Structure 1
C-alpha cells in the first residue's frame, strides 16, 4: 500500500482502513549533560546562545523521563556527546518501525544542519546493538530528512504523516513508503517557527489530533480534517511560545505536555485525555519540548 499523498483528493481511505500497528512499549532518551544553545538554526534559538541553565535542564529532563515511566513505558538511555549540544533531541536522528512480523527496522536521518550531522552515528550504534534492520536514504538524491521530528506515526496504524519544507525533503518519503510498504500523508510546512511537523501536529489517538493550523497549507489542513474526527487547535501563543503541539501521547490516553498550555489542556481533558504537565523551559530555548526529547520504540 506504499504511496505518498500530497492532496486531499488522493485520500481514498480512512484510518480504520489501514492495518493496525502495536502501540510503543519503550522510549529512547539522550541524557542532556552537554545540552546548551551554542548556535542558531531555528528562530527559537535566537538570543538564547549561552543562556541554558544545565542543572535546571537536567532536572527537567529527569521529570520527563519519570513521566514516561509512570505511564508504563520502558526508558532506554544513551549518553550524550561533548560538542553535540542538540543530541538530547533524539526524535530527529531516526525513524523506527515494527513490521507485521514483529521485526524492528529503522531509517537513519540526514540532518539538515551541519552542526547536527555527527549525532546520527551515535544513535545508529544503539540501533545496531539492539538488532534493528538498518535502512538509509540516498544522500546523492535526498538532501535532508530529520526522522520523527517530521515523520509521525498515526496512533495504532501503519500510516505515517510526513512534514516537509524546512528540515526534511518530500523525496525522502518516496523511499520510506516503498521500503515499509505504507501510505504517507505529506504535509508542507509554511512557518519557519514550526520547522518540524512535531511542533505543529500531535497525534493523540487514532481519531484525535492537536494542531496549530497556521503552520499548514490549506491542502494540508484538508487532509488533516479528512483523517481525524476531532481536531484540537492550539493558539499561536501556546503553540509558538509553549510548544503545546510538541506534547507526546504514547498510549492514546496520557498526554505529557509543557506546563501552562491552559486552553489546550482544558480541551484535552474535555476530550477524555489525562494531562501530565512538565517544565521544559530550558529546552524551549533551543526550539524543542517533550516530543523532541524522546523516541518511541517497540520491544
Structure 2
C-alpha cells in the first residue's frame, strides 16, 4: 500500500484499514558520557554552548532509562563517541521497521548538520551486527533525512508520519514508502523551534495524538484531525520551553514526559494515560528531551 499523502483530500482510508503492526518491545539508548553543547544547529542551543552539567545529564539519562525499564521495555545501551556530543539523541540516525514476515529492516539517515554526519556509521554497525537489512537513501538526489526525529510510526499500524521542512527532505519519503510498501502521511513543519516532527507531534495511542498546532500548516492539521479521534494540544510555552510534545508513549498507555507541563499532563491523565514526569533540562539545552533520547525497536 505504498502511497505518499500530502493533504486530507488524499486520505482514502481510515486507520482501521491499515494493517496492524506489533508494538515495540525494545529501546536503544546511547550513554551521554560525551554529551555537551559545542555548537548551535537549532534555536534551543543558542547561548547554551558550554553550559551542560555532565553529572546532572547522566542522572537525568539514568532516570529516563529506568522508566523505560519499569514499563517493560528491553533496553540496549550503545556507548557514545568523543567528538559527537549529540549522539545521545539516538532517534535521529535511523528508521527501523519490522515487516509482516518478522524481518527487521532499517533506513539509515542522512544528517542535515555536518557536525552530526559521523554519528550514522556507528548505528549502521550496530544494526548490521544484529541482522537488520540495511537500506540507504540516494545522497545525490536526497539532501537529508533524520530518521525517527521526523519519521514516526503510528501506534500499532503500518503507517508512517513524515515531517519535512528543516531536517528531512520530502522526497526521502517516496523511497521509504516504496521500499516498505506503506503509506506515509507527510507534514510540513513551519516553525524553526520545532525543527523535527518529534518536537511538536507525539502519537499516544492508535486514536490519540499530542501536538503543538502552530508548528503545522493548515493542510497538516487537517490530516492530523482526520486520522486521530482525539487531539490534545500543547500551549506554546509547554511545547517550546518544556518540550511537552517530545514525550514518548511506547505502549499506548504510559507516557514519559518532561516535568512541569501542567496542562498537558492533566489532559493526558484525563484521557486515561499513566504519566511519568522526568527532568531532562540538561538535554533540552541541546534541543531534545525524552523522545529524542531513545530509539524504539521491534
- TM bucket normalised to smaller: over 0.9
Map residues 83-232 of structure 1 onto 2, 5 A cutoff. Answer: 83-232=83-232
Q: State the SS of the aligned residue for 2:263.
A: helix
Shift of 1:228: 0.1
Q: State the SS of the aligned residue for 2:286.
A: coil
Q: State the SS of the aligned residue for 1:193.
A: helix
Unaligned runs of 5+ in 1: none
Q: State the SS of the aligned residue for 1:186.
A: strand
Shift of 1:182: 0.1
**TM-score, normalised by the number of residues in structure 2:** 1.00
Map residues 54-93 of structure 1 onto 2, 5 A cutoff. Answer: 54-93=54-93
Render the CA deviation track for 1:159-218: whole Å, top value 9, x for unaligned. Answer: 000000000000000000000000000000000000000000000000000000000000
Task: Give the Cα–Cα distance (whole angstroms) in 2 for the partners of residues 126 and 74 of structure 1.
Answer: 16
Partner of 1:33: 33
Q: State the SS of the aligned residue for 1:170.
A: coil
Task: Give the Cα–Cα distance (whole angstroms) in 1 for the partners of residues 249 and 125 of structure 2.
Answer: 27
Task: Give the Cα–Cα distance (whole angstroms) in 2 for the partners of residues 154 and 146 of structure 1.
Answer: 17
Partner of 2:246: 246
Shift of 1:85: 0.1
Shift of 1:266: 0.2
- Coordinate RMSD, CA, aligned: 0.3
Unaligned runs of 5+ in 2: none
Shift of 1:130: 0.5
Task: Give the Cα–Cα distance (whole angstroms) in 2 for the partners of residues 65 and 121 of structure 1.
Answer: 24
Render the CA deviation track for 1:207-260: whole Å, top value 9, x for unaligned. Answer: 000000000000000000000000000000000000000000000000000000
